[in-house]
Chains A and B, each alone.
Chain A
Amino acid sequence: MTNPVSRREFLNLLGAYGGTSAVLQAGAALGFMPSSSQAAEITLQANNGKKVAILGTGISALTTAWELTKAGYGCTLLEASHRPGGRMFTVRSGTVIDEIGNYQRCEWDNDPHLYFNAGAARIPSIHSNVLKYCKELEVELQVFVNESKTAWVQDDAMNGGKPVRNTDYSSSMQGFISEMLSKALGDSQLDSSLTESESEILLSMLRRFGDLNEDMLYKGSTRAGYGSGGFLDHGTKKDVVALRDLLKARNGGSVMVTTQEGTGSGPLLMQPVGGMDRIIYAFANRLRDRIKFRAPVTEVMVRGDGVEVAYEQNGVTEVLKADYCFNCIPSHLMSGIPNNFPTDYSEALNYIRRGRAYKAAFQAKERFWEKENIYGGITWVNAPIQQIWYPPHNIHGKKGVVLAAYNFGGANYTEMSQEDRIEDLLKHGEKVHPNYREMAEKPMTIAWHRMNHMLGCAPRWARDRGGWSDKEEQMYETLRQPVNGRHYLIGDQSTQHSAWMESAIQSAHHALADLDQRVRSEPA
Chain B
Amino acid sequence: MKKLMAPTTLFLSVLCSATSLAAEGDIGVAAAMDDRYCTTCHGVEGLGNIAIEAPRLAGMEAWYLKRQLENFRAGIRGKHGEDLQGNAMRPMAAKLSDESITDIVDWIGDWEYVPAKTTIEGNVRQGRTAFQACAACHGANAQGNEALGAPALAGQNDWYLLTQLRNFRAGFRGSHQEDTFGSQMVTMSKILRDDQAVINVVSYINTL
Which residue of chain B has its CB nearest to the CB of A289? B27
Interface centre among B30, B44, B49, B94 (most CB of A within 10 A): B44
What's the Cα separation between A101 and B34 when bound, in Å? Answer: 10
A304 at the interface (CB under 8 A from B): no
A93 at the interface (CB under 8 A from B): yes
Interface residues of B (CB under 8 A from A): 1-2, 4-5, 18-23, 25-33, 37, 39-45, 47-52, 54, 87-88, 90-96
Given contacts A100-B37, A336-B54, A452-B37, contact A284 B26 (CB under 8 A): yes
What's the Cα separation between A83 and B20 when bound, in Å? Answer: 8
A293 at the interface (CB under 8 A from B): yes
Contact string against B for A residues 209-226, beta-carbon threshold 8 Å, 1 for contact and 0 otherwise: 000000000000000000
What's the Cα separation between A93 and B19 when bound, in Å? Answer: 11
Q: Closest 3 CB pairs between A and B? A: A336-B43, A336-B49, A94-B21
Give the chain A neighbours of B92 by CB distance below 8 A: 100-101, 450
Which residue of chain B has its CB nearest to the CB of A296? B39
Give the chain B neighbours of A96 by CB distance below 8 A: 18, 20, 31, 33
CB distance from B76 to the nearest CB of A (A): 16
What's the Cα separation between A299 and B43 when bound, in Å? Answer: 11
Give the chain B neighbours of A303 by CB distance below 8 A: none
Give the chain A neighbours of B1 by CB distance below 8 A: 317
What's the Cα separation between A340 and B192 when bound, in Å? Answer: 37
Given contacts A335-B52, A338-B47, contact A101 B32 (CB under 8 A): no
Contact string against B for A residues 337-351, beta-carbon threshold 8 Å, 1 for contact and 0 otherwise: 110000000000110
CB contact between B50 and one of A98, A291, A294, A350 (< 8 Å): that residue:
A350
Q: A95-B21, A98-B37, A101-B96 are in contact. List 16 more A-B contacts (CB 8 A).
A: A83-B22, A84-B27, A94-B21, A101-B93, A281-B22, A293-B27, A294-B32, A298-B44, A316-B4, A317-B1, A335-B43, A335-B52, A338-B44, A350-B50, A354-B51, A450-B92
Contact string against B for A residues 308-348, beta-carbon threshold 8 Å, 1 for contact and 0 otherwise: 00001001110000000000000111111110000000000
Does B22 contact A90, Cβ atoms closer than 8 Å?
yes
Give the chain A neighbours of B49 by CB distance below 8 A: 332-333, 335-336
Does A317 contact B91, Cβ atoms closer than 8 Å?
no
CB distance from B53 to the nearest CB of A (A): 10
Does A316 contact B2, Cβ atoms closer than 8 Å?
yes
Given contacts A94-B19, A335-B51, A336-B47, contact A83 B31 (CB under 8 A): yes
Does A95 contact B27, Cβ atoms closer than 8 Å?
no
Given contacts A95-B20, A281-B27, A284-B26, contact A332 B91 (CB under 8 A): no
A453 at the interface (CB under 8 A from B): yes
Interface centre among B28, B45, B47, B92 (most CB of A within 10 A): B28
What's the Cα separation between A299 and B49 when bound, in Å? Answer: 14
Does B22 contact A95, Cβ atoms closer than 8 Å?
yes
Does B95 contact A101, Cβ atoms closer than 8 Å?
yes
What's the Cα separation between A281 and B94 when bound, in Å? Answer: 34
Does B21 contact A93, Cβ atoms closer than 8 Å?
yes
Give the chain B neighbours of A450 by CB distance below 8 A: 91-92
Give the chain B neighbours of A352 by CB distance below 8 A: 51
Give the chain B neighbours of A414 by CB distance below 8 A: 88, 91
Does A277 contact B52, Cβ atoms closer than 8 Å?
no
What's the Cα separation between A294 and B42 when bound, in Å? Answer: 18
Does B94 contact A105, Cβ atoms closer than 8 Å?
no
Does A299 contact B44, Cβ atoms closer than 8 Å?
yes
Q: Can you give 25 A-B contacts (C-beta < 8 A)?
A: A82-B30, A83-B20, A83-B22, A83-B28, A84-B27, A94-B19, A95-B20, A100-B37, A100-B92, A105-B20, A277-B22, A281-B22, A281-B26, A293-B28, A296-B39, A312-B2, A317-B2, A332-B51, A335-B49, A336-B41, A338-B44, A350-B50, A416-B91, A417-B91, A453-B40
Given contacts A100-B92, A349-B51, A415-B91, contact A281 B23 (CB under 8 A): yes
Which residue of chain A has its CB nearest to the CB of B41? A455
Does A92 contact B21, Cβ atoms closer than 8 Å?
yes
Give the chain A neighbours of B33 by CB distance below 8 A: 96, 98, 103
What's the Cα separation between A294 and B88 when bound, in Å? Answer: 24
Interface centre among B25, B31, B49, B96 (most CB of A within 10 A): B31
What's the Cα separation between A90 and B20 when bound, in Å? Answer: 11
What's the Cα separation between A316 and B30 when bound, in Å? Answer: 18
Does A417 contact B28, Cβ atoms closer than 8 Å?
no
What's the Cα separation between A181 and B87 when bound, in Å? Answer: 49
Does A293 contact B29, Cβ atoms closer than 8 Å?
yes
What's the Cα separation between A378 and B170 when bound, in Å? Answer: 43
Give the chain A neighbours of B30 by CB distance below 8 A: 82
Interface centre among A101, A293, A315, A417 (most CB of B within 10 A): A101
A274 at the interface (CB under 8 A from B): yes
CB distance from A414 to the nearest CB of B (A): 7
Which residue of chain A has its CB nearest to the CB of B54? A336
Given contacts A315-B5, A452-B37, contact A94 B27 (CB under 8 A): no
Give the chain A neighbours of B43 by CB distance below 8 A: 335-337
What's the Cα separation between A112 and B44 when bound, in Å? Answer: 38
Interface residues of A in 415-432 (CB under 8 A from B): 415-417
Interface residues of A in 441-489 (CB under 8 A from B): 449-450, 452-453, 455
Give the chain A neighbours of B94 by CB distance below 8 A: 101, 417
Which residue of chain A has its CB nearest to the CB of B1? A317
What's the Cα separation between A349 and B50 when bound, in Å? Answer: 11
Which residue of chain B has its CB nearest to the CB of A418? B95
Does A336 contact B48, Cβ atoms closer than 8 Å?
yes
Given contacts A92-B21, A101-B92, A294-B32, contact A285 B27 (CB under 8 A): yes
Does B40 contact A100, Cβ atoms closer than 8 Å?
yes
Give the chain A neighbours of B2 by CB distance below 8 A: 312, 315-317
